[in-house]
Each structure stands twice: as C-alpha cells, then as structure tokens.
C-alpha cells in the first residue's frame, strides 16, 4: 500500500478530508522520527512498538569478490508488533 492509498483509507474510515488525513499521517511520522532520534521508543498498546538499537561496527565481506569490508556502527530502527496486531494478521 502506498502513502496515497493509506491516506485515502484513513480519510474514509475517520471521516476526514484527504488533506486532513495527509497532515495527520505526516505529523505521526514526524513525531515518531523525532522520538526515535532522541533515543526513546513509541509504544502503541496492542499495535506495536517502534524502537532503536545500537549495532556495533563489524567486518563483513563482499559476496562478489570475497573481499573483507568494514561495516560502520549504526543505529537501527525496529518495529515489534503488538498482540492485537499479531492476532488480527493471523486470523
């Protein structure tokens, strides 16, 4: 589903205009991004949790050449589905 399709579904379900739904979705994404940048997590009970984790620097290899390459440390973003979402998807 594209962002535009999601906006259309949100607008229809919430009785909003597409412009209002777009602003709401943009505000949600911006807020989640800002919260994760600060190192905090966002928990939506039953739906899931957005969080970050630190990945240490490591050594990998180029699959074509077999050459060793250094992979820098970074912060990864993860989403863990909540119980209600898992149950809904598995029905």
- Please write the tens of the pLDDT for every residue from 45-68: 999 999 999 999 999 999 999 899
What pLDDT was estimated at residue 73?
Answer: 96
Question: Is 40 within 8 Å of 61 (Cβ atoms)?
Answer: no
**Structural domain spans, the chain:** 1-40, 43-91
Determine which helix (DSSP H) or strand (DSSP E) holds 89, and give its type and residue range: helix 83-89
Residues 6+ apart with CB under 8 A from 10: 16, 21, 24, 25
Name the CA radius of gyration of the chain, rounded. Answer: 18
Nearest to 39 by CA among 76, 82, 80: 76
- Please write the tens of the pLDDT for every residue from 5-55: 999 999 999 999 999 999 999 999 999 999 999 999 999 999 999 999 999
- Per cent of the chain over pLDDT 90 is 98
Fold of 43-91: HU Protein; Chain A (4.10.520)
């Amino acid at each position: 589903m594209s962002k535009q399709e999601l906006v259309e579904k949100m607008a229809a379900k919430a009785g909003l205009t597409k412009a209002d739904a777009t602003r709401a979705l943009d505000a949600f994404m911006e807020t989640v991004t800002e919260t994760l940048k600060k190192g905090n997590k966002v928990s939506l009970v039953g739906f899931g949790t957005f969080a970050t984790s630190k990945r240490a620097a490591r050594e990998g290899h180029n699959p074509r050449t077999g050459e060793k390459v250094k992979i820098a440390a970074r912060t990864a973003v993860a989403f863990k589905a909540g119980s209600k979402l898992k149950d809904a998807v598995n029905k």
